[in-house]
Amino acid sequence: MTDTLLSTTPNTLAVEHFRAKLALETDASDVFVAMQEGADFVLIDTRGQAAWDQGHAAGAVHLPTARIPEEVPARYPAGTRFVVYCWSPGCNGGDKAALALAILGYEVQLMIGGFEYWAREGYPVETAIGTVRREVDELVGPRATGLSTSVAGISCEC
């Protein structure tokens, strides 16, 4: 261990890194809350048709990455904010879509965890049979208490 851990001077490199990371990434919890509060952004599911049909975040727009360069400028004015996601943390499809949007000049954030964490955290999923919510996976979020009738939306307080 070094004495640098006790420094009262901000670690400039770390501050810049995490500030940029938080500007460019968000998570399912923050996206859900922002949607509930009426934040002005478009949530894009970048996966293919079969994945979309299997289920997607409620309120998302289906726009696979390959179609972004042609369709986004035709459908969305400059200044539109986007949040994009793909399947899971093991998939970089959301990163590719975010890059495509950034190249076009749009403000964009990646929803880390993708659709997997959206569903595992109990947020609404639209399917062919309607909107469903699964119980929160205890590995990704706190259990509901007896005081709550909904398992989603419980804050991890982080």
Write out pLDDT tens, residues 125-151: 999 888 888 887 777 777 664 433 344
Task: Name 17's Cβ contacts closer than 8 Å, sequence gap at least 6.
Answer: none
Residue 90 neighbours by CB under 8 Å, 6+ apart:
none
Say what the pLDDT of residue 139 is: 74
Domains, the chain, ordered by start: 21-132 (3.40.250.10)
pTM, to two decimals: 0.84
Question: Is residue 31 within 8 Å of 44, Cβ to Cβ?
Answer: no
pLDDT in tens, 58-99: 999 999 999 999 999 999 999 999 999 999 999 999 999 999
Rounded Cα gap, residues 36 and 20, in angstroms: 25
What letter does residue 150 receive in the DSSP assignment?
-
